[in-house]
Amino acid sequence: MKFADFDPALFLRDYWQKRPLLIRSPWNEWRNPLEPDELAGLACEEGVESRLITRDGDRLAMENGPLAEERFGELGSGPWTLLVQAVDHHAPDVAALIEPFRFVPDWRIDDVMVSYATDGGGVGPHFDQYDVFLVQGLGKRRWRVGPRCDSATPLLPHEDLRLIADFEATGDWLLEPGDILYVPPCFAHDGVAVGDGCMTYSIGFRAPSRAELIQNWCEHQADGMMEEDRYADPDLTIQANPGEIAAPAIDRLHAMVMEALSDRDAFARWFGLFTSAPKYAEADWRPEEPIGTRQVCALLAQGVPLSRNPASRFSFIRRQEGTVLLFVDGHCFENMGDAALLAERLCAERTMVADPRLAESAPVVALIETLIDQGSLAFEDED
């Protein structure tokens, strides 16, 4: 699917992280990529993150999946909403929805959550800490958007949901199939299904918090430090008051910490590993049997397309000397030689045909073999 009438540069300049935007069906054509029954089936599977939200009067209740198949038959006629996370990992047509939004860097893209709701179903007024494009797939949904919120915004008491206590809408739109609503971080919003059979695709983005970055970067650096790397003061002199933590000691301690954290190249490498780590680390996408070098060579020579696993995260960092670091699912690949150009193509193209002559390149073959064996890449005619 492609956008027919949408200017990404204009959107980034005037709307991205600034204000909401309703985009009326910008596609060349719209086709709903997933059937409701398929979504319900995913919600019943182990290892798939799902939630069921039901309404009883003004009270919302939430159940975590996996759900039993018979649960759907017990729901009755009241409003309810099914939410399934990372559907793009399991449904190629849903994964294809991400492509038009890749004017935002891949490392910022999280996943596609899909919701199905009956008439009146919704999750209540809330706000998220990330950008989201809400694509209406089937049926209709009324979206109301309010002002920007923060940690001081009053919330209703609820064990599972962060619902805004005093929601006041500043915008009100009815979305039909193919329409898109962009909501920047922290803007209050509330979506309610109008009629049964409402499906919405939420393309969500990642925004690591400062606290998250500091905690993980510090832990990473600390893990690699030697036990004997300790505070030392060979120039210690007698203090007037032994109870004082003197300024020279503070300066030395502060320098110890800052020196360990200020290496930009080390930070870049760590961030590539951190941000490419799989969303669900426990998921095992490896093939049943390793592919083998000969088979990689043969398929490359035949021009068989390579396809990235939709659940995998690919990115690269270009270093000052012109080399690249490739990051795939929490692994770093460097010193790739003539595999570097292929690495950049793998990051740019979700499906590609490599030059058959690369079958003669040992670094290229080794990289492809490794990525296939770890479940990040596959030849399209392979299971």
Query: Residues 295-313: pLDDT tens digits?
Result: 999 999 999 999 999 999 9
On the CB side of 182, CA atoms within 13 Å amount to 21
Question: For residue 383, is pLDDT > 70?
Answer: no
Question: Residue 97 is encoded by which pair of tokens?
Answer: 């929805």
Kindly report, residue by residue over 243-285, the tens digit of the pLDDT: 999 999 999 999 999 999 999 999 999 999 999 999 999 999 9
Kind plus residue range of the DSSP H or E element containing 93: helix 92-95
CB atoms within 10 A of CB 241: 6
pLDDT of residue 80: 96
pLDDT at 213 over 50: yes
The predicted model scores a pTM of: 0.93
- Mean pLDDT for all residues in the chain: 95
What's residue 30's pLDDT? 94
Do the Cβ atoms of 368 and 300 come closer than 8 Å? yes
Q: In the predicted model, what is the mean pLDDT of residues 323-343?
A: 93
Please, what is the Cα angle at 119 between 78 and 193, to 5 degrees? 135
Q: How confident is the model at residue 338 (pLDDT cuts 50, 70, 90)?
A: confident
pLDDT at 57: 81
> In the predicted model, what is the mean pLDDT of residues 330-338?
92
Do 300 and 362 form a contact (C-beta atoms < 8 A)? no
Query: Does residue 381 carry a pLDDT above 80?
Result: no
pLDDT at residue 382, rounded to an integer: 52
Segment 334-341 mean pLDDT:
89
Give the mean model confidence (pLDDT) for residues 348-359.
95
Residue 25: what pLDDT? 94
